[in-house]
Chains A and B, each alone.
Chain A
Amino acid sequence: MNGLELIKQAFALQPVGRIPWVPFVGVHGGYLISTDAETYLKSAEKITAGISKAIELYRPDGIPVVFDLQVEAEVLGCDIRWSEAGPPAVVSHPLAEGKSLKDLTIPGPDDGRLAVCLQAARSLREKYPDIALYGLITGPFTLALHLLGTDIFIKMFEAPKEIHAIMDFCSRTAQKIADYYMQAGCDVVALVDPMTSQIDRQTFDTFVKPYVTPVFEQVRQNNKLSSFFVCGHAQQNIEAMCDCKPDNISIDENIPLDFVKEIALEKGISFGGNMKLTVVLLMGSEEDCREHALECLDLGGNTGFILAPGCDLPRETPSKNLITVANLLNDPYQQEIVRTLEKKESTLEIFNMKDYGQADKVIVDIVTLDSESCAPCQYMVEAVKRVAPYFEGVVEWREHAIKKMEEVSFMSSLMVKNIPTICIDGKIAFVSKIPPEKVLVAAIQQRINEKLKLKIKSKKSEIILLGKDDEKFQELKERVNRAQTELGKDLEVKIITDQKNLASYGVVQLPAVVSVHYKIKSEGLVPSTEVIKEWLKEL
């Protein structure tokens, strides 16, 4: 099943085999192709290239064309200030600065950056017929705030009629823009109205509901899908949002997913969200992302849920974090692993593994979820099993299935982070990927060689010469060297002339020769080179 079909299935509240995923790639698309936010948002080619890159990396089921809630406002005369790393900000409000509604006309498809967005939508549609394309439109309340500034909050009480008129204009604008996006080929119209998080239920019902409902109605009549995005603390308005009859609502981390799930499903509406943008996706590690994505997946469930970030992805969100989410989503085994580890991590005991792998045999450990239930784990165990006979008696292998507590401890003690992993003598050797037989054999052989080398080295013999710094002792040292040269032996020769140490060898007369086993070979005389050679042969 392709992404678009999967999204449609989730919107229709039919259970899905895999939860669909819609990364909200806005200016992050520019980051992917090394373009600053301003250049990116002004060019249909750049947007198409950025989103194409995101599709290639993150394997989404749906994706927005552009995430910029200033497009309509800019066309309507708001000044905007560009920033390198984020969407622009509105910095002037025409309706608070002398203009009136009569001076404003609803934007046409060729106006300002709308033309850029629609062109990008058409290109992406052609390139990706199987992915759900989201056309994002600025919600009427947020647009009204752009046009009027914060005066809107006071005027809702003091001049409600004026606000209703502005909201009506913004609603008609939203309907038009929705139309343009649908004609450009978008499958989903997402109305994004973050500022509704600022108002209470009653105000929402009065000033927002009548103006967003027709937008969703219009999308429905065109046989397309609609979504209502909000971010911030909009918990008080979730029910009211559902009552505006979108097909889906999408929320950010400020609202618990289960809270939304309960209300949305009861109202027969699908829902999405709410991965943490900053703390996890932008700043967190891959591990954080995996754990958090799984938490969302488990809370959301497989009916009517779409996994998405809470809002527009920060520009510099590390790609590896989003790839991690995509991988997790497509891999039920990995989900099971994260679930298992999460449960067990807090009561872990960490072993001291400093001396692990020092025994004579080479130990191959395979850390798995459970080779019976996890296919990649099974293949990894089989790979080791296959090569083990080559090293009969020299190599020992063990599987550590982390379903058991002590094996989780073992895994953490070896600093293993991914499953399955092969460790050779306590060192991580192969992570996630099953090594080809030759490579595995070579890795084990290398370790055997290393150990052999160590063994040979540690057996290096030692001979101790004791004496005073006199002629006799000089002679002894020379003969020992000579014997070594003649034998071709490489010995450790220790010279001891310190009176205190001499006593500890039990030597009475000097000079003396003591072998590595602390056996006194001679004392009080200088033996011949031939004799010394015989001794050295024994060592």
Chain B
Amino acid sequence: MMKIPLHIVSGFLGSGKTTLLKKIIHTYSGQYRLGIIQNEFAPANVDGEELINTGKDFHLLEINNGSVFCACLLGDFSRSLEKFIDTCHPDILIIEASGLSDTTSTAEVILSGHLSDKLFLASNWCIVDTVNYHRTGSLKQRVEHQIRMADIVMINKTDLAEEQMVKKTVEEVRITNPFAEIQLTRFCDADIHIGQSAINKFYPGHNQSLAKPEINSMVMKSGKKISCESLVLFMKEWAPKSFRIKGYINLENAETWAVQSVFEKTEMAKTSQRFHPTELIALTDQFTLREWNQAFRKLS
């Protein structure tokens, strides 16, 4: 069976996730069978209704169990998702992650077990509300965590913010995630690619479909700190075996490095992250999470 590309849309409450989804539905619902998963931390699924009101054809799975922020609720979530895929057979899946959810843990669970045979992670968007970004204050922690694992960060509502404010937001996002593509948007008017088109964009020159059965995306988390040499060796060994690796690695000397590789091209940059474990995501057709985990555990 071909694997279904999965896209994650995250962003703080009110940042514009539903607007982006509406845009995607509007543009692509004729072309693909879209499966949308909504998990907003809202009393009633107002946003779900808003999507249905677009009048377009797509399949919707609403997760009402509060916010999927808690690891103990994710098992339940992955079961409903599996059922959803088996009933609706979507070509493309898009998850709207609640503003409070931990997209890395969500991806980790979705990409393991039975579900890993059915889908792979194609891209991860994070929408930042320029106006309120600096006001999220206490919640920066979560927002930053979502930004840090994103492929594309949309700095949204730029029409409502001073130019200076937008500039500052871009700088801060850049510090958190040195490799993400940053797009400045109003009403999420971004250049949106989903499915194969997103893959062509991330892997220029790779014209084949990535949705093949051998493709695997995986999330590795570890509390282990490694040496700088080990980091280089690790990337040297695994980058050539992957379409893509990205994430953050904590070093023994208390530094955190952001890494990203597309095929063999590897980039690394020191970041000022604190308080997060090492987190890596890989897209590959050559190894399993178990092998990858073992190799990481053996590093010094």
Contact = CB atoms under 8 A, between A and B. Distances in A.
Interface of A: 81, 83, 85-86, 89-93, 149-150, 153-154, 156-157, 194, 197-200, 202-203, 231-233, 235-236, 252-259, 276-279, 282-283, 299, 310-317, 345-346
Given A86-B76, A233-B102, A252 B71 contact: yes
A194 B137 contact: no
Contacts of B109: 278-279
Nearest to A313: B72
Contacts of A235: 275-277
Given A89-B64, A198-B142, A316 B75 contact: yes
The bracket for how many chain B residues form the interface is 35 or more
A231 B70 contact: yes
Contacts of A282: 75
Name the residue among A89, A198, A236, A253 with the largest chain B CB count within 10 angstroms: A198
Given A85-B76, A89-B64, A283-B113, 17 more contacts: A86-B76, A91-B43, A150-B100, A153-B139, A156-B137, A198-B138, A200-B141, A203-B138, A231-B70, A233-B276, A235-B276, A278-B75, A283-B112, A313-B72, A314-B75, A315-B75, A315-B76
Could you say which of A91, A197, A278 has the most chain B C-beta atoms within 10 Å of its C-beta?
Answer: A278
A325 B105 CA distance: 23
Top-8 shortest CB links A-B: A256-B223, A203-B138, A314-B75, A283-B113, A235-B275, A311-B72, A236-B275, A312-B72
30 contacts: A83-B65, A83-B76, A86-B65, A150-B99, A198-B100, A198-B139, A198-B141, A202-B138, A232-B70, A233-B102, A233-B141, A233-B142, A235-B275, A236-B274, A254-B71, A254-B102, A254-B221, A254-B277, A255-B277, A257-B223, A259-B223, A278-B71, A278-B78, A278-B112, A283-B112, A310-B72, A314-B75, A314-B76, A317-B75, A345-B294
B140 interface: yes
Contacts of A277: 71-72, 74-75
Contacts of B135: 154, 157
A317 B79 CA distance: 13
A153 B140 CA distance: 11
Contact of A346 (B69, B114, B222, B298): B298
A89 B76 CA distance: 13
B73 interface: yes
Interface string B26-51: 00000000000000011110000000
Contacts of B138: 153, 156-157, 198-200, 202-203
Contacts of A93: 43
A258 B223 contact: yes
A311 B71 CA distance: 7
A311 B70 contact: yes
Q: Which of B43, B65, B72, B102 has the most CB of A within 10 A?
A: B72
A81 B64 contact: yes
Interface in B284-300: 291, 294-295, 298
A280 to B, nearest CB: 9
Interface of B: 13, 41-44, 64-66, 69-76, 78-79, 99-100, 102, 105, 108-109, 112-114, 135-142, 145, 221-224, 274-277, 291, 294-295, 298
B223 A283 contact: no
A143 to B, nearest CB: 14
A258 B224 CA distance: 9
Contact of A86 (B73, B105, B276): B73
Contacts of B277: 235, 254-256
B75 to A, nearest CB: 4
Given A194-B70, A346-B294, A199 B64 contact: no
A257 B105 CA distance: 17
Given A93-B43, A231-B70, A232-B69, A254 B105 contact: yes
B141 A231 contact: no
Nearest to B135: A157
Contacts of B102: 232-233, 254
A157 B134 CA distance: 12
B66 A231 contact: no
Given A233-B102, A279-B109, A283-B75, A197 B223 contact: no
A230 to B, nearest CB: 10
B78 to A, nearest CB: 7
Contacts of A345: 294
A252 B137 CA distance: 24
Contacts of B69: 194, 197-198, 232
Q: Which of B74, B113, B114, B139 is packed against the most chain A CB atoms within 10 Å? A: B139
Contacts of B221: 253-254
A282 B109 CA distance: 11
A314 B74 CA distance: 9
